Structure formats: C-alpha cells, structure tokens
Structure 1
C-alpha cells in the first residue's frame, strides 16, 4: 500500500507547481519594489504640529524656535585663547550671509545686564583681553553658561533658517590642525547619520539573523537541507515584504527597521510548529495538508494577535508610529500568507535526532517534568509573587526620554556628550508672559529663574516693545523629558501669578509628545493583553483557560519593566515599542501549547500535560531561533535597536520559562474540564 504522504504529493503536484509559479513571480516583482526602498530618520515626525503662541504679539518672533535649530559645537584647540574670538566672529559673519538664515545665536549674542554691551565685541574692537571678556560674559551675561563652557574653550552656536545639512557641510570642520573645531550636533545631522546606519544595517542584520536561524535549525535537526527548507517561506516572506514596502513608498526608519527580523523569525517559529504537526500527522498515516489544518488555527491566532499589537500603534497620532503599525501589519500578513501557501511543501520527514537535540531538548524536557512533578505548589506561589512584584514595578516605573538615546555611536554622539558634559543648552523653552503690572511680573520672573544658574538681575531686558515678556529658559543637552516637563510646570505656575502664560519651543513640544506616546503605548499594551486572553478564550472555549494564559504572557512584560527600572529608572520609547512587539510574540507559544492540549474530537477534557508534551520541542526551538534572530540587534550602532534587541531576547527567555513551568503549574492533572 502506498504511503499517504507519497500519494498526497502526487495528488497535489499540479497545485505545487501553481504555488511555486506564483511565489516565483511575486518574488521577481518584489525585487523591483525592493529597489525603490527609502530610508528616513526625521525624529521631528514623532512630534505633533506645535501649538503656536496663541496670537500674542510676540508669537511671530518665536515661530522660528518651534523647530530644532542647527546646533554647532565650537571647540578652541589652540594653546591660548588668542584668535578664538576672531574665528567665531568670522563664522557668525559667514552664516549671516547664507541664504535663508534668519538668526544666528552665539557668544556674540550675549550682553551684560542693563548696558546691553557685549564685552567680547568691545575687546576685539579695542585690542582688549578676550579671555577676561569671555569670563565676564559667562559670569554676568544673561544665560551665559548655556552657550559657554566653564573653561571658555567650548561654546555653542545655534542657527535658525536655511538648509541645515548644506550649512553643516560648508561650515563644520574639525580636521587636524584646525584651531577652531566646528561640529554639527543638530537634529538634521543626527538624522542623516541614522539614515546611513539604517541603510547599512538593513542590508546586513536581516541576513545575519537568517544565517543564525539556519545554523540553529541545522544543529538541532542535523540536516542543512531541512534547515534551509524550513527557512524558505520566511525568506520569501521577507523578500515580498521588502518589495511591498518599496511599492507602497513606506520608508524604513529607526522604529520599523526591526520588522524584517520580526517577520523572518516569526515565520520560522510558525514553520517549526508546522513541522511538529507534520510529525504527528505522519504517525497517524496522514499527509502534510492534514498537518497544516491541525495547526492553522493556532498559526492564524498568533499572527492575528501580533498584527493587532502592531496595528494598535496606528492611533498614536505620530507619523513614525503610524508607519511602524502599517509596516508590522503588512509584514505579519505577508508572512502568514507565505507559510500557508508554501509551508506544507517545505516540511518533511524528521532526520535522526542529532547531538543538539539529545543534549538540549531531551534533558530540558526531563528537567521540566521533574520540576512539575514535585514543585507545583511552589511554582503556583512563586507565580503569584512574581505577578504581584511585576504589577508593583509596572505601576511605579515612570516614562521618560533623553535626546541622546537616538544618536548612533560615533563622532556626532561624542560631540553631543561633550556638549552635555559642558552644561550647554540644546534649545530654549519659551515662556511668554502678558502682564498688566510690570513690577509684579518682574518679581515673579526673578523668582522663576532663581536657583537655575541664570543671572536674571534685569527682567526688564526681557520685555518686548508691546509690553509682553519673552522669557527663554535654556534646556541642557542632557535634560530628560520629565525634567523639561517639571521646568515647564514650575515656571508656568510662578509666572501665572502675574498674568497669562504661554509655553512653546522645540524641547517642550518633544517632551510633552514623547511622554504622552510612551504612556499611551503602555495603556495599549494591556488592552492588547486583554484582547489576547479573549481570543484564546474563544479558541479554547474556556474563560478559565483564557484567564490562566494571562500570567505567562504578562511576565515577560514585567521582566522588561524590571530591567528598565534597574538599568535607567524609566521606560523609554524603545522599551515601550519592545513591549508592544513582545505582547504579540509571546502569546505564540502559549497558544500552541494550549491548542496542542485540547481534547480529541468527541472528548470533553483538556490536558496541559498533553499540550506540553506535544509542543515542548517546537516551543523550545522557536525560543532559540527567535533569540538567535534578534541577537544581531545587540551589535547595532543605533542605541534604540540595541535596547530593543536585548529586551526582546530577555522577554523570550522569560516567556519560555513561564510557558513550560508556570503555565502547567496552574492546571490540575490528569483531567481538566474545559467549562
């Protein structure tokens, strides 16, 4: 009698060639689309359009400062300060004559209170002492410390208007022998640096992830042919994804650059579950399409929950997060389609158990069974304690953001660090005060600036011709978003005692928007968990199983909270995005274990032991493969991707432990009624 799988192969041969032709044609078209891929790193896209200064008379003068300026870090490298003033003056002169430049702020913009005199200009005009003039400016001038370092050798220049990239190309110079080192640390320069890194990493990191996944599969199955066949649908899905991104005109940015790795590693996980289902089906004398039918609900549910996790980001009102949502939903959908179409043809007979399977999978399986046999009560209490600790950490860990966390390693990052160390200011937050009583207003202004290190002895200098006070409050390069919000609240509260206050400026817009996004992402995260539990409950037809599944899926998220709390003390954008991605990935293994433990047709019982026995090996291997796939992100030069990769690996390891130890400990054996 002919083997069912051989008969099925012959019966479905016409279908195979049709599928192969469709996949090949789509792949060739995708190559054309991939050639159209673009890259962006415009971080201002994360900020909603800024609110202007409410029609106040001074608002027109502040419009320039709603966008980030071109920031030039000037470092004097001569043995003495002789010639420094002349070099900075020449640079200011050149910039003022550049097309589109509206304002240049430098040490020559500083003035002594009351007199309005710049002692550096006076010293240069009258052959005075520039060193004494610079020291006087930093000590006496309004906001002198925000533009001039304590040793007087480093200063900041901010340019509004013009083409920032062109200006930086023409005027930034820091070659050996240059007495005045000029480095651009503005947002446009940072974005250009990130774009270059994205191009390089998008060409290499997905390929490295694929090679690591193939290596892991080869070591586990002992067959390079089986490893390549299991990776074929994810590889094809990645190609289709790149093509679709190119045709749709969706650029890659520091957020959605991780999607190719997610797509291919998640596809590999689905293929491993399909391979396991094929092994079970072959033992029953069934073919590969029976295996697909048995695992299709679980694959569909896990793809759906991952797509929902991505799609939830669309409603944040940020261009970057909308792009991440569209990219994620597109990638997961393409991946599901390729696995369903091509997956059954890429699974086959399992090779003899190689060394890695005998040395890793089987000992771990015996260890897990031993722990579950003797430590279930301890595991239940431990899971309750971990859950309580996780909830406490999640509720007490704040959201925050620094401007430095997006800058790739390199010269720009070092210059940014230097500006931070010298206490220089990235850009000001502006407080516009309309007050009828000038005396009371100036009392409040002095109080607002007290203790900030700014020499505000003549508040009248900050009053415009129409009587409105325009109050710049410098924000340091190393400021956090929560610190900026604290300054805004404190200063606005004091100034509001004297009149109407409006707050504006690029740092203010960024801080408010990013903090709101991080907080909302965490709300969305737990909404996704509720949806995942609902979907699992409907799939398993059991509210009890749905509630129980919440624990192993929540613990990886709490692990991320705990790590960030210990490492930096807050949740940043990369961590919030990582948690959203994890929420869609960790439910994958939980769903497969529960689905494998469902009752046979006609029976009325659910067995978590049966589910763990059937799914243990693919769950272990998918964890290894996913961790291997994300590991190249640890070597990215982009700090955000480094953080995201590390957090993903941490969460996957915690999720595996929760799935194979805590989840079974929450059920009673041997019989578990579904209802």
Structure 2
C-alpha cells in the first residue's frame, strides 16, 4: 500500500520514467524479427534433429535451393519446350547459382550429356521426347507432369548464397519468358509465405484484440477518461514486450504468433479489475488518495496471482525438448510480467493525471446484475463441485478424441500463390519438395545399396531402371 500511496502522492517523476521506458521499448520494438523455421519444434537431441544436422554437414550445397513450378499451356510444342530449355540455361547464369536440376539436366543413357537435347531423341516430336523420358526414367516423372503442362526446376545455390536475394534474382530471370508462368514452391517459398502471413496476423489480430477490449471498456464504464486509464497500461505493456523481443533478438515464430493477443486480453482483464475495485473504494471515503492506494494494494495480489497461473502454464512449455516451445515458455512468462508491471505502475499515475474514478461513481450495471446470481450459486457448496467435476470429465473425454498431427501446409495462407501452386503440383503428381534418404554406400559395391534404395522408393519398375545401364550411369553421377 505504501508503494501505491507514494505513486499517487508524487506521480510526476514515475510518469516521466514510464514515458521514457515506453519510448525506448517502442524504438527497440522496430528490431523485432520473424522466424519461420518450423524445425525449431523438433528437440535438438531427437533422432530427426540429429539426422538434419548430419545431412547439412555432409551436403551443404543442397541446404537452401529454390524450387520452381513452371507452367505452360503445353510443353508438347517446340516453342514451349524451347522456352523451358532457355529458362534452365538462363538460370545457370544467375549470380549465386551453382547448379540447376531439371528435365534438361537428366543425362542420356550411356553418356553424361543432356538426354532431352541429345541425338537419341532428336528425331522425335516434343511430346514423344517427353513421353519417352517419363517412361524410361523415374526422375523424369517427378520433373514434368503426365499432361505436359507443368515442370519442376530446382535451383541449387552456391554455399552461403541462398536466401531472399537469390530468390529475387531467380524470379527476375524467370519473368522474361513469355508463355511460361513461374512460381516459387520450395520449402523456402513456403517459409516466406508463412512469414508474410504471420506478420499480417500480428498486424491484424493485435489491433483487433485491443479494439475489442476498448469497446468492452466503453460499454462497461461509459467514460473516455476511464477507458484511457484502463487501456493505456495494457498497450504500453505490450510495447514493452515487443521492445524486449527486439532488444534480446528473440524472433517471433508461428508458435508465438498468438502470444500478443493473449497478453493484451489478460492485461485488460487486470486493468478492469483494478479500476472496478477503485470505484468501490471511493464510496464514502474521506481521502481519495488513501482509498485508491488501498484498492490498488488489495487488488494487486489478485492480479499477480492470475498472471502467475498463466506464467505457470507458459512454464510447462519448457518441459518438452523443443526450442520453439522453450522460447514460448520464457517469452510468455516475461510478457505476462511486463504487462502486469505496466498495469500496476501506470494505473495510479493515470488515475492521478485524469482524476478518475471520482467519489460517487457507480460500478457498471452489468457487474451489478452478475454479482447477486454468483453469490447465490456460491451457497451451493456441494452441487457446484459436483457439476464442475462432471464438466471437467466431459471435457477430458472430448479432448481424448482429438487427433494429433502436424502439417507445414496448415500454416500456409489460403489463396496465396504458393498455396495454389502446391495444390496444382499435387494434382499433377509432382513433388512440391523432397524427402531425403542418405544411403551409406559399400566401397566394395558402390551402387548396390543405392540401386536397392531406388527400387524401394520407386517400386519394381524403378528397380529395373536402377539396374539398367542408364540407371546405373545416372546413380553414379548423383
């Protein structure tokens, strides 16, 4: 109570400090980053994470390739197929590109040159050339669709050259080909689309939550000054939280995307609780400052306990071996602490500055209508626990029916170009990306295990191809 009494007695200096802290936090908030690498959900000690690290160590060139979906009315024409070949050639000369994997890069049987443009298929029509390659080489079936309207190109960057800048250069090179529609569809494109959607969600949902809480405050208290006292501290607390994220370099990932909304809603709840208690404390109180200090001191423990229970819930996310969930655990706890601090520190200063609440004020009618029924229900000391237990058991039974699962596509925005392109690829039977299998070769028979792996992946037809001269030449080159 002494602390709140001092804040109300000498509020000017605390007000200046709070304004300065908020301004600094707002400046630091401009440095907040968004990270969309969902591999952070995997624990660093899990088998999957270790396999990813082994792959990245042994195959660094294939860590950040750009995958393109190239569409045309039909590649079964000389003009369209020639444009595809020219596009592949153009991509080879993009700054930072080391290799381009496409239909044109598949080697001819028995030699290392391109099969698509080689003498073996020179006398065939474009449709026959593509059909022959699809029939004889399983890889060709993954690189061009059966209806010959869609093809996949993988652009492999030089070490350290992958990223948004390379994607922009690749897109600029692809834009100049008339009759071809090129869309980025690889894992990096998916991550970029999720990043854009995550930023948009934060920009939309956080103001929407603030607006809803402001509307509720207006409906309850019907006073602009009261709304200012209630709204400014939670908003400032959220600014402090974003400032802390920027200052510490803690990136927002999809798991943390809803955290700002949770913080602002809970902080508004605490602020409304404190303001309502202050209204009651002023009833027949001879000293306004002492009455407000007492109201703040009496409600602060309740606000702290509600925040503490939320912090405990966030802390439980530190138990799994998941970097993203661990970050969410301590970021959520820090955010709750900052929002609680802003409410308890700013509200006394704002009450002094704006002169609300005043003696003789009436609490909202909604509260007056809710409290009497709640008191009557509280008298049913036996029935209430029984009903609560039944509801809890019912909720647990329903929860047990939920299905566990995870899909990258669940994070993609509906209607985005990459989302539509991935659906088109799936319909065309093309892979949107790749599942990697590392095969440790036997030095005595280098292609034996690789051939068996190809058979396991592609079936008997693939096994026959892998055992053929063309297949063995292709596998040896890979």
TM-score category (smaller protein): 0.7 to 0.9
CA shift at 1:236, angstroms?
Answer: 1.9
Alpha-carbon distance between aligned partners in 2 of 1:343 and 1:462, rounded to the nearest angstrom:
80
CA shift at 1:279, angstroms?
Answer: 3.9
CA shift at 1:74, angstroms?
Answer: 0.9
Alpha-carbon distance between aligned partners in 2 of 1:61 and 1:444, rounded to the nearest angstrom:
22
Superposed CA offset, 1:227-251 (max 9, x none): 2211121122122223333333333
5 Å-filtered alignment, 1:43-192, equals 43-46=38-41, 48=44, 50-51=49-50, 62-65=59-62, 67-77=63-73, 81-110=77-106, 120-122=116-118, 126-162=122-158, 163-164=161-162, 165-172=164-171, 178-192=178-192
5 Å-filtered alignment, 1:257-336, equals 257-283=257-283, 285=285, 287-314=291-318, 318-336=322-340
Contact kept? 1:69, 1:427, Cα under 8 Å: no
Q: CA, structure 1 residues 326+91, in 2 after alignment: closer, same or farther (shift >3 Å)?
A: farther
Answer yes or no: is 1:33 the counterpart of 2:28. yes
Structure 1 range deviating more: 255-264 or 180-189: 255-264
Answer yes or no: is 1:423 the counterpart of 2:419. no
Alpha-carbon distance between aligned partners in 2 of 1:50 and 1:237, rounded to the nearest angstrom:
36
Superposed CA offset, 1:56-95 (max 9, x none): xx99875544x35311011113596332322222222233
Q: CA, structure 1 residues 416+429, in 2 after alignment: closer, same or farther (shift >3 Å)?
A: same
5 Å-filtered alignment, 1:575-594, equals none
SS in 2 for 1:74: strand
5 Å-filtered alignment, 1:404-553, equals 404-409=409-414, 410-425=416-431, 426-434=433-441, 445=453, 448-449=456-457, 455-460=462-467
SS in 1 for 2:306: helix
Q: CA, structure 1 residues 54+175, in 2 after alignment: closer, same or farther (shift >3 Å)?
A: closer
Contact kept? 2:234, 2:267, Cα under 8 Å: yes
Alpha-carbon distance between aligned partners in 1 of 2:36 and 2:130, rounded to the nearest angstrom:
37
Alpha-carbon distance between aligned partners in 1 of 2:348 and 2:136, rounded to the nearest angstrom:
77
Aligned Cα root-mean-square deviation (Å): 4.5
**Which residue of structure 1 aligns with residue 344 of structure 2?**
340
Superposed CA offset, 1:240-273 (max 9, x none): 2233333333333433343333222211111122
Q: CA, structure 1 residues 284+395, in 2 after alignment: closer, same or farther (shift >3 Å)?
A: farther
**Which residue of structure 1 aligns with residue 13 of structure 2?**
18
Alpha-carbon distance between aligned partners in 1 of 2:469 and 2:419, rounded to the nearest angstrom:
34
Contact kept? 1:303, 1:332, Cα under 8 Å: yes
Alpha-carbon distance between aligned partners in 1 of 2:15 and 2:57, rounded to the nearest angstrom:
62
Q: CA, structure 1 residues 91+238, in 2 after alignment: closer, same or farther (shift >3 Å)?
A: same
Q: CA, structure 1 residues 30+178, in 2 after alignment: closer, same or farther (shift >3 Å)?
A: same
Q: CA, structure 1 residues 429+36, in 2 after alignment: closer, same or farther (shift >3 Å)?
A: closer
Answer yes or no: is 1:401 the counterpart of 2:396. no
5 Å-filtered alignment, 1:247-258, equals 247-258=247-258
SS in 1 for 2:11: helix
Where does structure 1 lack aligned partners over 5 or more consecutive residues? 473-675
SS in 2 for 1:93: helix
Q: CA, structure 1 residues 442+186, in 2 after alignment: closer, same or farther (shift >3 Å)?
A: closer
CA shift at 1:217, angstroms?
Answer: 0.9
Number of positions where the alignment pairs a residue of Structure 1 with one of Structure 2: 454
Alpha-carbon distance between aligned partners in 2 of 1:190 and 1:277, rounded to the nearest angstrom:
49
Contact kept? 1:85, 1:124, Cα under 8 Å: no
Superposed CA offset, 1:107-159 (max 9, x none): 23456889999763347962421112222333442244433223121121122
Alpha-carbon distance between aligned partners in 2 of 1:97 and 1:384, rounded to the nearest angstrom:
68
Contact kept? 1:149, 1:423, Cα under 8 Å: yes
Q: CA, structure 1 residues 419+366, in 2 after alignment: closer, same or farther (shift >3 Å)?
A: farther
